């Protein structure tokens, strides 16, 4: 079997392909953007995304009781603090025996959790510590919201509650990715403080777009992330503000000399999210970009990077949408 040497350890080519397959089955957007990253960041972010997706699946477990979800989230967090191959295998087997939900891609991921944890263990100590620490933070943060479930899924109380939720499930992701991006990139040292300042808002903005886009579908499934009586215009503004922070973040990466792959992987979610948000603002929840629109936006991002004008492009804001 051929093997790929990354971060001072060996990862089987078949194992790497399996990680990429799990990524593709778990997220359409991130399966598009993560492969653009240069190594070793690509592998780090692939592993990190899959671990966060495991936590998210445990939180969303529609077939489990609230108590079961809380137990599984805490056991997951505890395992990440003291990784064990045997414990990971046992945990994965219990998830497969009593599936938490119906999504086939997520269930495959739960079955392959030992592989994901093994891949994480093979990362360099610095990147591994960042990933595990932030995944534990989000798992326990999710549990704090799950613990509020009484007569069904949690209903967020107000805008502050919504922001706290978005930070837990996505703002922490932005903080983790920023620390991974900064590893080994001395050229980013001059903008590190600014990147960290916008990191959580970046993630929160993307999450708010998803919440606004999926509001009707979530409601049909018994979930309500938009607080009752909340000003929709205010929520849209909060989402646009988050995407503005993300645009500043991307522009700083370019100005500091980040690699093209890092720029493309960072810019695409921003541009696609902003265009999606504008469509949802016009047409309502459920509206989404068509394939031609997505292809046109991807091409524009690639041209902007090639011309060294990505920062200018993303900072155009709403005018950047087709």
Give residue-wise pLDDT tens across range 232-260.
Answer: 899 999 999 999 999 999 999 999 999 99
The span from the CA of 26 to the CA of 21, in Å, is 9
The span from the CA of 258 to the CA of 186, in Å, is 10
- Contact criterion met (CB below 8 Å) for 226 and 156: yes
The span from the CA of 181 to the CA of 42, in Å, is 10
- Contact criterion met (CB below 8 Å) for 213 and 244: no
The span from the CA of 121 to the CA of 9, in Å, is 10
- 3-state secondary structure (DSSP) of residue 7: coil
- Which ranges of the chain have pLDDT less than 50? 1-5, 8, 318-322
Residue 10: the pLDDT is 55
- Contact criterion met (CB below 8 Å) for 119 and 47: yes
The span from the CA of 111 to the CA of 88, in Å, is 10
Using CB atoms within 10 A of its CB, is residue 57 exposed (0-12), middle (13-18) or buried (19+)?
A: buried
Give residue-wise pLDDT tens across range 53-65.
Answer: 999 999 999 999 9
- Contact criterion met (CB below 8 Å) for 116 and 20: no
- Contact criterion met (CB below 8 Å) for 32 and 271: no
Closest to 229 in 3D by CA, of 165, 135, 155:
155
Distances from the Cα of 318 to the Cα of 78, 174, 177, 195, 276, angstroms: 43, 22, 25, 22, 11
Cβ atoms within 10 Å, residue 277: 25
11 φ, ψ (degrees, to nearest 5): -125, 125
Give residues with Cβ within 8 angstroms of 89, minimum separation 6: 114
- Contact criterion met (CB below 8 Å) for 156 and 225: yes
Residue 280: the pLDDT is 95
Residue 7: the pLDDT is 55
Predicted structure pTM score: 0.92
Domains in the chain with CATH codes: 1-154 (1.10.600.10), 158-322 (1.10.600.10)
- 3-state secondary structure (DSSP) of residue 283: helix
Give residues with Cβ within 8 angstroms of 66, minimum separation 6: 146, 147, 149
Give residues with Cβ within 8 angstroms of 16, minimum separation 6: 4, 43
How does DSSP classify residue 3? E
Mean pLDDT (the chain) is 92
Give residue-wise pLDDT tens across range 76-107.
Answer: 999 999 999 999 999 999 999 999 999 999 99
Q: How far is CA 301 from the centre of its chain?
A: 20
Residue 3: the pLDDT is 41
């Amino acid at each position: 079997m051929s093997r790929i040497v990354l971060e001072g350890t060996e990862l089987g080519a078949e194992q790497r392909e399996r990680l990429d397959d799990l990524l593709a089955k778990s997220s359409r957007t991130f399966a598009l953007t993560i492969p653009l990253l240069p190594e070793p960041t690509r592998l780090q972010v692939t592993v990190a995304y899959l671990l966060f997706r495991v936590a998210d699946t445990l939180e969303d477990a529609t077939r489990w009781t609230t108590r079961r979800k809380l137990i599984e989230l805490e056991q997951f967090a505890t395992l990440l603090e003291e990784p064990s191959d045997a414990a990971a295998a046992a945990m994965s087997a219990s998830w497969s025996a009593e599936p938490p939900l119906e999504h086939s891609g997520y269930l495959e991921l739960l079955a392959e959790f030992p592989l994901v944890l093994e891949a994480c263990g093979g990362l360099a100590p610095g990147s591994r510590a960042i990933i595990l620490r932030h995944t534990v933070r989000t798992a326990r943060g999710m549990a704090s919201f799950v613990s509020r479930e009484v007569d069904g899924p949690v209903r967020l109380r107000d805008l502050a509650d919504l922001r706290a939720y978005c930070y837990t499930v996505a703002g922490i992701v932005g903080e983790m990715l920023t620390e991974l991006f900064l590893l080994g990139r001395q050229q980013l040292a001059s903008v590190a403080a600014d990147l960290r300042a916008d990191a959580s808002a970046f993630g929160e903005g993307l999450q708010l777009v998803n919440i606004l886009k999926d509001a009707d579908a979530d409601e049909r499934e018994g979930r309500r992330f938009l607080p009752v009586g909340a000003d929709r215009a205010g929520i849209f503004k909060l989402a646009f503000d988050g995407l503005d922070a993300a645009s500043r973040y991307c522009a700083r990466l370019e100005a500091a000399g980040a690699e093209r792959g890092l720029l493309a992987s960072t810019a695409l979610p921003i541009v696609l999210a902003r265009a999606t948000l504008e469509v949802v603002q016009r047409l309502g929840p459920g509206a989404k970009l068509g394939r031609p629109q997505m292809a046109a936006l991807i091409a524009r991002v690639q041209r902007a990077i090639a011309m060294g004008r990505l920062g200018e492009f993303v900072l155009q804001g709403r005018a950047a949408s087709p």
